[in-house]
Amino acid sequence: MLKLQGNRIREIQSTAFKDLIGVEIINLDDNSLQTIKSETFVNMPNLDVLTLRRNKIVHIEDYAFGELPELLILSLLSNSLICDCRIRSFHLWLLQQTSTVADGVVCSNINEQLIKDIPNVEECKETTTEIQSSTITTESLETTQPFKLTTMKAIIGQTSINNAILLGIISCTVSAMAFVTIFIYIVIKTRFRDRSAVHKQNRTGKQEEMVGYDLAETPNCYSNEYDLPQEVI
Cα angle 45-49-50, degrees, rounded to a multiple of 5: 95
| Short-list 53, 52, 45, 54, CA closest to 24 | 45
pTM summary value: 0.53
For the stretch 19-70, pLDDT in tens is: 788 999 999 999 999 999 999 999 999 999 999 999 999 999 999 999 899 9
- The SS3 call for residue 106 is strand
Chain-centroid distance of CA 60 in Å reads 30
Q: What is the dihedral of CA 208, 210, 215, 218, to 10 degrees?
A: -170
State the CATH architecture for 1-126: Alpha-Beta Horseshoe (3.80)
For the stretch 84-134, pLDDT in tens is: 999 999 999 999 999 999 999 999 998 889 998 888 887 777 655 555 544
Q: Count Cα atoms within 13 angstroms, Cβ side, for 51.
A: 15
Q: How many CB atoms lie within 10 A of CB 36?
A: 24
Domain ranges of the chain: 1-126, 147-215
Mean pLDDT of 128-149: 46
Q: How many CB atoms lie within 10 A of CB 34?
A: 14
> Distance between CA atoms of 93 and 161, rounded to whole angstroms?
49
Residue-level pLDDT at 145: 47
Residue-level pLDDT at 100: 93
For the stretch 215-226, pLDDT in tens is: 445 455 444 444
Distances (CA, A) of 89 to 40, 55, 95, 161: 14, 21, 10, 43
